[in-house]
Each structure stands twice: as C-alpha cells, then as structure tokens.
C-alpha cells in the first residue's frame, strides 16, 4: 500500500480509538474530571503515567539529541529517569495521603494561605504552558511531514483531537486514552528499533545491539565504527563527546531531575488511585513502562546517526567523489525538505552534498577545496521520525512511527491541559473567587478553561523558542525552581511557613524566568532575547536549560531565610505535616 494512504489509515484508526475511549469514559462529576474518581488500577495508572510523562520530547527529540550529542545526550536520560525516582520516593505517596485534587490545593492547605495557592497556580500555569508548547511543536512536525500538510493544519488537527477527548472525558477519559496511547507509542518506538538493530548488528534487542558488532564487519563494534565516522567528519568521538561543561552537565541533570519531580501534571496522576499504597505501586509500574523506551533511546540515536552518515557517504567518509549526489537523494530527504526541517546548499556546485564539522574541518576538506558544510539544516527532531525511512523499512512501520509520535505528543498535552484547567477552575475559581460554585458550573468552567488553554497552546506551538526537548527542558527548569522546593519543604520541613513558601516560589520562578528571557525571549514576542544564546554570553557558563537548579537553590535560601524571620506555622499545621509523613495501618494507607 502507498505510504501516504497507509499513514492516513493507521493515524486515523488511532484517532478513532482515542475518541471512542473518551466517549465511553466521559466524566460526569468533578471527581471524575479532576482525578478519575480515584478508582484507577495501579498498573493501568502506571501505564497512563508513563504516557503522560513520555512526551514528544521523549519520543521525537531525545534520541535525536543523543544522535548528535553522543555521550553528552545521556544527561537527558539521567535527569528525566532520576527525577521520576525522586518523585516516586519523596513526593507521590505523601501527596496522595494528603488527599487533595491538585498541587496548588496542597500548597494552599499546607501553608494555610490563599496567597500561596494563587502563587502555586501561577507557577503551574507558566510551567504547563511552556511544556505544552513543545508538545504542539511535535504534533506539527509529525503532521507536516507524514500527512504532508502545512504545520498550521497539523496543529489544528492535533488541537481538535485533544479537544474532543480531554474536554469531554477529563481525567477519567484522559487516563484510559493515555493507556491506549502508551501501547501505540511504545510499539511504534521499539518495532523500528528492533528491525534496525537486526539489520546492523544481528541483535534482536536494540539495547544489546548498541554494544554489539556490525554484521559482516569482522568484529567491529557499532560504537567504535561511529566514533571513527564522527572523527573523520571533524566532530568529537561519539561515545566520549562532551558537548557540555562539567558544571552544565551537573546543573542540567539536577534541573531535569528535580523539575521532573515537580511536574504538576504527573503528580496529579497519583491522586487517581484508591489508596496510598496504590500510589507507590503506580510509581513502580510507571518506571517499568518508562524503562522500555528509555533503554531503547540510546540505540535509536546511535543507529540513526550511523545510517545517516552512510546515506550521505555511501563510498565512505571523506570519499568526496562518491558523496551523495543531490539529484539522486532518496525520497525521504525530498519529503523532509518540503517541511523546511532539512535543507541542502550546494556551495561548490558539484552536485554532491558534503557534510562535516565546519568549525573543525577534517584534512580532506582543504584537499578537495570544499566551500563549507552543505547540509544547511538537519533538525534534531526529525531523526526518530526519519529513522525507519533511512533504514528502508516497510511502509507500515513508518506509518506506525507517525502514529506513535502523535500519541506521545497528545498524551502529554492532554495531561498538561487538564492541569491548566484544574488550576483555573478548581484552584482559582472554586478555591479563591467563587467558593460556593455548584459542581455543574465548576465542571463547565473546567472545560471552558481547557478550551482556552488548547487555543493558547496551538498559537505558541507555531513559534516555539527551540526544538521539542529544548523547550521541555525550559519547562523542567521552571518546575525545578518553583514547585519542587516548596513541595519538599512542605512535606519534610515543619517550620516552613506561608511567608517563606510564597517568597521562595516567587524568587525561584522570577530568577529563572529572567534568565530564560535574557537568552530566549518571551514566547509571545520571538526575538526579544537581550543576549545571544551561546556559551560565551551565559553567566558563569550556565545554559538557560540548566538554570533551574540555580533557581531551586535561590528558592530554598529565600524561603528558609524568610521563614526563620517570621512566625512559625500554627501547631495544627505542624501536626498535619507530621501525620502525612507517618504511615497508617488502616485500609487507606
């Protein structure tokens, strides 16, 4: 079957599945809309949590980062998975035992302050809107390439699907839709990886193929071959490439870890299970489901880069006379060129495309009088999506990857939109402005606020400040600097009071936003950054993606200082904190 037809069939079938689940699981109460009635099985919740957390950044962008960064790309693996362990051990059980619907509700009650609740809502909205921009970019990329439509049309299509199942079903519909989306995305991610691993190394499992030898190569290991290729192109060795300074590696890893643990749309998933012990079980199952993709990603990145270089240099790296002929480029390159995410510039008019490190050109560049790198743009976000086409896999595999990429983006987008909706309708409207609002009107307000959030996310998705994983990393930095410290101190530091919590959240959030603004600008006004975003301009060499750790330190210092200078929280609040940390022996523990 022709590729485009196959893609329409597979993607269309997945959309019908999501819509059907949403209709079946339609929320009729606020409890079902916000936390699925607290009746989700731990295994099912673990699968839904994995889908909620593994966004377009995990599916589309992470392996692309690893493909280009090599060893340095491992920072994303360590940060995101390590952060989930922090969340599972230090936050999830205690927040579930506290028993509230949302993170701002916990902050408001724990710090006995409407002001603290409002500040937490502001933090949540900024984090979630930043995060959802990355998902909308992923949706637009997948649609614009595989369905061959303009990115605006792709965004509208994605927004429409999310609108149907998120607005209709709430958390109940989203939970069961995310279970289906997890199955789609993990199947779509691993099947091509298995095929390519068998092609290159003979290993069925990509995790083993990454460390295996190339088929028919007399014992040459894949990573050794890739190291040699990258050096011949003027880059650092793939397996030892250090693209970040030691300081940035540490700060970025920490920012991703504590940012993950502070993500409100993931934390809220632990309120959907019946008991505290089920929250712990959900966290364990989610780690298992996440590991299936995260242990596969390094192999996907390495094999994608190996196949790409061999496509560009079928006669071997440095063999200029046998470099890829532009007019004979494969069809996948022609298609990606139309999206604008892949561009060639034949600088010496020889009809062949030369790719190398222009900043550190290898010797064969001068010997052949080449005029510069001719692969003008190769967007990192296309590597996973183009991988099965580069490896010439069957059309049904390519269609499956398209459906998986969309599922990854939509699953996280839905969770984020629900977090935004609940913050507005439950935490602001009911919790602050209209405490006597009826359940029916609160549910209506939640749905209307989700519609507004979808429209805003679509608009921002047209002009993101970077590739998917980069935008998501900014969101994690904001979560690290604002919500994670206040949640940790709220659970483990009885002396923390409302003044300290509010001052800490504002200090962490504003310092991190200011740093991002300096180098990235504001979403609404592209190009408003005051400083050029490169290592020479970064303060103390700290990248915007890494600054969340610094923001978290600022948050804690300010919060503790203010708390020491002001009155301690009431005794009943301190007793409440103590009771949340102590296990109960009854059936709800």
Q: Kindly report, residue by residue over 313-355, the tens digit of the pLDDT.
A: 887 887 877 788 888 888 888 888 877 778 888 887 888 888 8
- Give the count of beta carbons closer than 10 Å to the beta carbon of residue 188: 27
Torsion of the alpha carbons at 547, 552, 555 and 558, rounded to the nearest 10: -90
CATH numeric code, 3-111+134-304+389-581: 1.20.1730.10
- Give the count of beta carbons closer than 10 Å to the beta carbon of residue 363: 10
Q: For residue range 371-383, what is the model confidence (pLDDT) as tens digits?
A: 888 787 787 778 8
Q: In whole numbers, what is the pLDDT of the chain averaged over residues?
A: 80
Confidence of residue 585 (pLDDT cuts 50, 70, 90): very low
State the helix-helix crossing angle for 498-520 and 468-492, rounded to 10 degrees: 170
Confidence check: pLDDT of 587 > 50: no
Contact 370, 95 (CB under 8 A): no
Report the range out of 22-31, 35-44, 70-79 with the highest average pLDDT.
70-79
Predicted confidence at residue 533, as pLDDT, reads: 65
- pTM, two decimals, is 0.79
> In percent, how much of the chain has pLDDT > 70?
86
Predicted confidence at residue 586, as pLDDT, reads: 42
Cα separation, 185 vs 55, in Å, equals 10
Q: How is residue 259 written in tokens?
A: 């940012």
Predicted confidence at residue 154, as pLDDT, reads: 72
Predicted confidence at residue 294, as pLDDT, reads: 87
Confidence check: pLDDT of 554 > 90: yes
Predicted confidence at residue 510, as pLDDT, reads: 93
Confidence check: pLDDT of 559 > 90: yes
DSSP-assigned beta bridge partners for residue 342: 378
Cα separation, 230 vs 256, in Å, equals 28
Q: How is residue 52 written in tokens?
A: 């909620």
Mark out the alpha helices in 391-529 (DSSP H runs): 395-422, 439-461, 468-492, 498-520
Q: For residue range 243-257, what is the model confidence (pLDDT) as tens digits?
A: 777 888 889 889 888
Domain boundaries, the chain: 3-111+134-304+389-581
Predicted confidence at residue 6, as pLDDT, reads: 84
Predicted confidence at residue 171, as pLDDT, reads: 63
Residue closest to 176 by CA, chosen among 265, 43, 279: 43
Contact 397, 191 (CB under 8 A): yes
Contact 53, 216 (CB under 8 A): no
Q: What phi-psi label fits residue 220: left (phi over 0), alpha (psi between -120 and 50 degrees) or beta?
A: beta
Q: What is the 3-state secondary structure (H, E, C) of 277-291?
A: HHHHHHHHHHHHHHH
Q: For residue range 386-436, what is the model confidence (pLDDT) as tens digits?
A: 888 888 888 888 888 888 887 777 777 777 777 777 777 777 777 677 777
Q: For residue range 68-119, what is the model confidence (pLDDT) as tens digits?
A: 888 888 888 888 788 877 877 777 778 777 766 678 888 888 898 888 988 9
Predicted confidence at residue 528, as pLDDT, reads: 63
Predicted confidence at residue 363, as pLDDT, reads: 85
Confidence of residue 167 (pLDDT cuts 50, 70, 90): low
Q: How many helices (H) and strands (E) does the chain have?
A: 26, 2
Confidence check: pLDDT of 452 > 90: no
The set of residues, in sequence order, having a beta carbon less than 8 Å from that of 362 and lying 6+ positions away, is 232, 233, 234, 318, 356
Contact 339, 308 (CB under 8 A): no
Cα separation, 115 vs 217, in Å, equals 66
Confidence of residue 193 (pLDDT cuts 50, 70, 90): very high
Confidence check: pLDDT of 298 > 60: yes
The set of residues, in sequence order, having a beta carbon less than 8 Å from that of 384 and lying 6+ positions away, is 59, 60, 61, 63, 64, 189, 300, 304, 401, 405
Q: Is 525 helix (H, G, I), strand (E, B) or coil?
A: strand
Burial of 16 (0-12, 13-18, 19+ CB in 10 A): exposed
Between 74 and 57, name the one with better pLDDT: 74
């Amino acid at each position: 079957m022709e590729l485009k037809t196959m893609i329409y069939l597979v993607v269309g079938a997945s959309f019908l599945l999501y819509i059907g689940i949403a209709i079946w699981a339609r929320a009729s109460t606020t409890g079902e809309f916000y936390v699925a009635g607290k009746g989700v099985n731990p295994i099912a919740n673990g699968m839904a949590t994995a889908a909620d957390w593994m966004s377009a950044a995990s599916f589309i962008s992470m392996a692309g980062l690893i493909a280009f960064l090599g060893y340095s790309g491992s920072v994303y693996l360590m940060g995101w998975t390590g952060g989930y362990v922090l969340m599972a051990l230090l936050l999830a059980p205690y927040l579930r035992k506290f028993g509230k619907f949302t993170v701002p509700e916990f902050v408001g009650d724990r710090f006995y302050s409407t002001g603290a609740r409002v500040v937490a809502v502001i933090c949540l909205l900024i984090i979630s809107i930043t995060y959802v921009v990355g998902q909308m970019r992923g949706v637009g990329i997948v649609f614009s390439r595989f369905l061959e439509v303009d990115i605006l049309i792709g965004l509208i299509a994605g927004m429409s699907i999310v609108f149907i199942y998120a607005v209709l079903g709430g958390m109940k519909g989203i939970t069961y839709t995310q279970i289906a989306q997890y199955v789609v995305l993990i199947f779509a991610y691993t099947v091509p990886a298995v095929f390519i691993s068998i092609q290159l190394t003979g290993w069925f499992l990509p995790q083993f193929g990454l460390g295996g030898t190339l088929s028919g190569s007399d014992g040459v290991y894949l990573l050794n071959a890739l190291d040699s290729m990258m050096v011949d192109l003027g880059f650092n060795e793939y397996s030892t490439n250090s693209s970040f300074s030691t300081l940035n590696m540490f700060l970025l890893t920490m920012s991703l870890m504590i940012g993950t643990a502070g993500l409100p749309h993931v934390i809220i998933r632990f309120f959907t299970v019946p008991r505290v012990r089920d929250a712990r079980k959900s966290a364990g199952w989610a780690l298992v489901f996440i590991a299936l993709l995260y242990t596969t990603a390094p192999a996907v990145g390495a094999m994608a880069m190996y196949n790409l270089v061999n496509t560009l240099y079928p006669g071997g790296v440095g063999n200029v006379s046998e470099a890829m002929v532009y007019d004979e480029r494969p069809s996948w390159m022609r298609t990606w060129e139309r999206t604008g995410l892949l561009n060639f510039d034949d600088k010496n008019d020889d009809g062949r495309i030369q790719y190398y490190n222009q900043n550190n050109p290898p010797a064969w560049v001068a010997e052949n009088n080449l005029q510069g790198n001719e692969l003008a743009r190769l967007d990192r976000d296309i590597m996973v999506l183009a991988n099965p086409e580069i490896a010439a896999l069957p059309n049904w595999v390519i269609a499956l990857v398209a459906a998986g990429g969309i599922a990854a983006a939509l699953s996280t987008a839905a969770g984020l939109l629900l977090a935004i909706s609940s913050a507005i309708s439950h935490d602001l409207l009911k919790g602050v402005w209209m405490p006597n609002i009826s359940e029916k009107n609160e549910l209506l307000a939640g749905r209307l606020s989700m519609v507004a959030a979808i429209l805003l996310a679509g608009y921002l998705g047209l002009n993101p400040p970077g590739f998917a994983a980069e935008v998501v990393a900014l969101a994690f930095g904001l979560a690290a600097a604002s919500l994670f410290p206040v949640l940790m101190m709220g659970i483990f530091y009885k002396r923390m009071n409302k003044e300290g919590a509010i001052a800490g959240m504002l200090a962490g959030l504003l310092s991190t936003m200011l740093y991002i603004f300096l180098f990235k600008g504001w979403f609404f006004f592209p190009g408003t950054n005051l400083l050029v975003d490169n290592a020479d301009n970064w303060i103390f060499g700290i990248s915007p993606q890494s600054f969340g750790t610094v923001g978290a330190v600022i948050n804690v210092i300010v919060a503790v200082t203010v708390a020491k200078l002001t009155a301690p929280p009431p005794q009943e609040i301190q007793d409440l904190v103590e009771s949340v940390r102590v296990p109960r022996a009854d059936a709800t523990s």
